Amino acid sequence: MRETISEGLKTALKARDQRRTATLRAINAAITDRDISNRGDGKAPATNDEVLAIIQKMVKQREESFAIYAQAGRADLATVEKEEIDILNEFLPKPLSEDEVAAAIEAAIVSSGAEGPKDMGKVIAALKVNYPGRIDFGKVSGQVRNALAAKG
């Protein structure tokens, strides 16, 4: 992922795309911060999973800012946030569709041997391992709960 981000930054610099350049530099800065933090803790540099989590966090921050700016009637600032969200999303894996999420939940229930609502943690853990960054677990937890309730 680091190479993809670096290549994107080089392309943005050559194209003189200021918004893209600034956004990719922000990603690199966040990754470097994580590397330094990991080094202080005696760990290796940030893994792809950690980089993915960093980018997801950046998207979530910008979505919150976008909502605030849109509500306050600041279309200019809301547009900037939306552009940054679009740039960041290019580096995230493609999210699963509703049908794919339902199928993934069923597969996770079968593979984890879940029998009822008490096994929700097992199912969520299986989904996190198999679909990192491709499922919004805040939204999916209700679907998992309903699927397990129907089973149990």
pLDDT 10s digits, 5-57? 899 999 999 999 999 999 999 999 999 999 999 888 888 888 888 888 899 89
Average pLDDT over residues 89-107: 83
Residue written as tokens 């984890």? Answer: 112
Task: Domains for the chain: give ranges and CATH numbers.
Answer: 1-90 (1.10.1510.10), 98-150 (1.10.10)
Sign of CA dihedral 111, 116, 119, 121: positive
Cβ-contact 93, 55 below 8 angstroms: no
Q: What span, in angstroms and rounded, lies between the C-alpha atoms of 122 and 102?
A: 16
- pLDDT at position 69 is 95
- Closest to 100 in 3D by CA, of 136, 62, 61: 136
Cα R_g (the chain), whole angstroms: 19
The reported pLDDT for the residue numbered 152 is 59
Q: Which residue has the higher pLDDT, 25 or 128?
A: 25
Mean pLDDT of the chain, nearest integer = 87
Provide the token pair at 45. 């540099």
CB half-sphere exposure, 71, CA atoms < 13 A? 6
Phi, psi (deg, nearest 5) at residue 116: -175, -175
